[in-house]
Structure 1
Amino acid sequence: MSNEVPRARDHEVGRVRVSRQASRQAHRAVAELNPGYAALVMATGIVSTGLHLFGWGTLSDILLTVAVAAFAVLLVAYVWRLIRFPRRVVADAQDPGRGFGYFTLVAALNVLGMRLALEHHWLICAVLALVSAPLWLVLTYAIPGSMVVGHRQNPVLPRTNGSWFLWVVGTQSLAGATATVAAQKPGLTASLAPPAVAFWGIGVVLYLMLLGLVTVRLLDDPVTPHALSPTYWVYMGATAISVLAAAAILALPADLPVLAATRPVVSGLGFLLWAFGTWWIPLLLAFAVRRHLVSDERVGYDPTLWSMVFPLGMYAAASTNYGRATGLDFMVDIARVEVWIGFAAWAVVAIAMARKLIRSGRKRSDAATE
């Protein structure tokens, strides 16, 4: 009995120590949360969509569950960070290299909504789009606005990177979700079609504008292998989601006034953007080879890797929907293969993330027992 009391006390002390260590780890993780971490939800949701489009229902449902759970966890983390570390949130928003990552929240809401719409959850899709609209409005003026008129010590353009295209992705996700709801709710079709087309047009113009800025940045200054981050895959992802949104708009009744005025433009630009996004893929692969093979940079888990998975999944979903909407069957055939490339990329990054979380947990446990 005399030894049991000290053992119980030691056990309780150890448990409290582990709890405190876990709390500190969570606190630090929230403080350092990458603004673009919601790309995890975008990537998982769109790969789930692609699998669903080709009839792989069970696997698609598993990924949908993962996407919903991840979004719930990240939503808590984002809100916690906003309340507990508001200065870091503002600093990230004013950082040209990180600020546009917040648009992953807009895109995550709408990618989830469009995936749930495939299960006939139109009301949820509409609610998520409604929530994302004011968030998009705030971000679309606050982030670029702070870079233009805010106090800055260094030039903005040298800090540009592929994450700037998340502005386009967020905008086009809103266009796609709006068109998706409009197609399924006849009473709202006439009123939702114009904003859907308007968002799509804004997204296309933003893409063209950012294409020049980011490409000039790549060509003007020497670019180190480390600077060729996975966010540059959003170059292609922005075109892919523009094509997906175009397909959703083309599914609306052709006799609507806004469709009568813009349908040829939406259809034509949709295909041109698909072709341009396809052209980008070999160049982006060259970037990856340059960073990870030629430079021998160690490949490890980084949240920005989800920004590479998302375009791969989006390319498959966009090619499928646009190909079916326009009768271009070869696009569907390409997507039938490419959807598994997207899933494979998702699995690799998910395993890397899980391994990092497990290692972090073990280090925390070892530190607590010392």
Structure 2
Amino acid sequence: MNLISNSIKGLHPAYFAMVMSTGIISIASNLLGFTGIACMLFYINIIAYAILLPFQTIRVLMYWNYLYKDLCNPKLSLVFFTTVAATNMLGAQFITVVNQPEIAKIFWYFGIFLWVSVSLVAFSALFIKCEEGPESVIHGGWLIATVGTQSVAVLGATLASKFVSCGSFVLFSSIVWWMIGSFLYVILITLLFYRLVFFKLAPEALIPPYWINMGAIAITALAGSIICLNIPKIGGVYPEFLTFTIGFTLFFWSFGTWWIPLLIILGIWKYIYHRTPFKYTPLYWSMVFPLGMYTACTFKLSQALEIPFISNISKYFIYLAYFAWIIIFVSMLIAMLKAATAKEATTT
């Protein structure tokens, strides 16, 4: 019982990154025709979410002081957007993998509630409590704020056609969220560039969430692609949005593609040149998410632009996503087993 209690007290918000990573790889698998893998990952995600959400709820109700400490920590405050992204990614699985739009709507409503709550609390805490310099607090995990915001746009745009009486309003709302998420990306990536260029970057400071640099812009491209595909289908949304959205979606996808080789070079610099040892933390799930998201957004972009050859990238990238997911999932299980064994040894 003490083990569970301690796990809840110290629950890292990045654990929800497992759900959002597994969710997008499941969706990408479904898009590419790997329905069996998509369903398997869907059920794994349901189990993970069913464990993490009650834990987080108990933490809010019973261990508020621990949660408050994390929210006031500028390194962690924006990482709480993983709960928003995880909720919406699971909702997106319900509609794309198992075709359950009514359940997906419930997740979208809950995702909106979480987005409003986390936005108000996390950014307020960041504005009021942060007293450290950019070199010590800014990291790629801040861009999870963009991921959480764009996840609302992704699920909303996907569900828009399922709202019989207010589909145009839902799609318009999704466009608004897409623009908010795009604004957050532009602001936060500017700060991140400033930190990377003008302050010394130690190998240990290059934490896994830096891969969210690409993941955040990939989900922005995915949201834009889904919006582009749905604007012609749903009346009430100005057609002028289509040209604007297509152009910016291609812009975001191009920038995300540019990040990939750069992040690989930084990874080689850290793990091979400096021989930094690999030790599992929940933050490593933020390296899996961009691979699945880039696969999905590239496939959807090829449909939105009607350029089929782009989708060939997705057919190869999905295997990188599978490989990364397996490595991190197995590492997580080993870490959990070691922690349980160590706890048992101390009590005997």
TM-score over 0.5 (shorter chain): yes
1:365 Cα deviation (Å)? 3.1
Classify the secondary structure of the residue corresponding to 1:79.
Answer: helix
Q: Which of 25, 34, 37 is equivalent to 1:59?
A: 37
Highest CA radius of gyration, 1 or 2?
A: 1
1:258 Cα deviation (Å)? 3.0
Q: Which of 212, 234, 238 is equivalent to 2:216?
A: 238
Please say if 1:279 is aligned against 2:295.
Answer: no
5 Å matches for 1:6-155?
A: 23-118=1-96, 119-148=98-127, 150-155=128-133
**Structure 2 counterpart of 1:26, which letter?**
I
5 Å matches for 1:162-201?
A: 162-201=140-179
1:367 Cα deviation (Å)? 3.3
**Distance in 2 of aligned mates of 1:234 and 1:68:** 23
What RMSD over aligned residues (CA atoms) do the two structures have, in Å?
1.5
Cα displacement string for residues 301-350 of structure 1 (whole angstroms, at most 9, x for unaligned residues) = 11000001001001001111121222121221000110111011000000
**Distance in 2 of aligned mates of 1:168 and 1:193:** 19
The answer (yes or no) to whether the contact 2:288–2:321 under 8 Å persists in 1 is yes
The answer (yes or no) to whether the contact 1:301–1:353 under 8 Å persists in 2 is yes
Please say if 1:224 is aligned against 2:176.
Answer: no
Q: Name 1:212's counterpart in structure 2.
A: 190
**Length, aligned pairs only:** 346
5 Å matches for 1:243-282?
A: 243-254=221-232, 256-282=235-261
Classify the secondary structure of the residue corresponding to 1:179.
Answer: helix
Q: Which of 253, 274, 278 is equivalent to 1:299?
A: 278
**Structure 2 counterpart of 1:346, which letter?**
W
List runs of 5+ in structure 1 lacking aligned partners: 1-22
The answer (yes or no) to whether the contact 2:108–2:152 under 8 Å persists in 1 is yes
**Structure 1 counterpart of 2:18, which letter?**
L
The answer (yes or no) to whether the contact 2:231–2:237 under 8 Å persists in 1 is no
**Structure 1 counterpart of 2:327, which letter?**
V
Classify the secondary structure of the residue corresponding to 2:33.
Answer: coil
Distance 1:363 1:117, change over 3 A: same
The answer (yes or no) to whether the contact 1:96–1:156 under 8 Å persists in 2 is no
1:101 Cα deviation (Å)? 1.0
**Structure 2 counterpart of 1:25, which letter?**
L
**Distance in 2 of aligned mates of 1:129 and 1:237:** 21
**Distance in 2 of aligned mates of 1:124 and 1:102:** 23
Q: Which of 321, 326, 337 is equivalent to 1:358?
A: 337
Distance 1:60 1:330, change over 3 A: same
The answer (yes or no) to whether the contact 1:233–1:311 under 8 Å persists in 2 is yes
Classify the secondary structure of the residue corresponding to 1:187.
Answer: coil
Cα displacement string for residues 159-194 of structure 1 (whole angstroms, at most 9, x for unaligned residues) = 011111111101110011111111233432122121
Distance 1:165 1:153, change over 3 A: closer
1:363 Cα deviation (Å)? 2.3
1:157 Cα deviation (Å)? 6.2
The answer (yes or no) to whether the contact 1:183–1:251 under 8 Å persists in 2 is no
The range that moved more, 291-300 or 346-355, is 291-300
**Structure 2 counterpart of 1:349, which letter?**
I
**Structure 2 counterpart of 1:350, which letter?**
F
Classify the secondary structure of the residue corresponding to 1:297.
Answer: coil
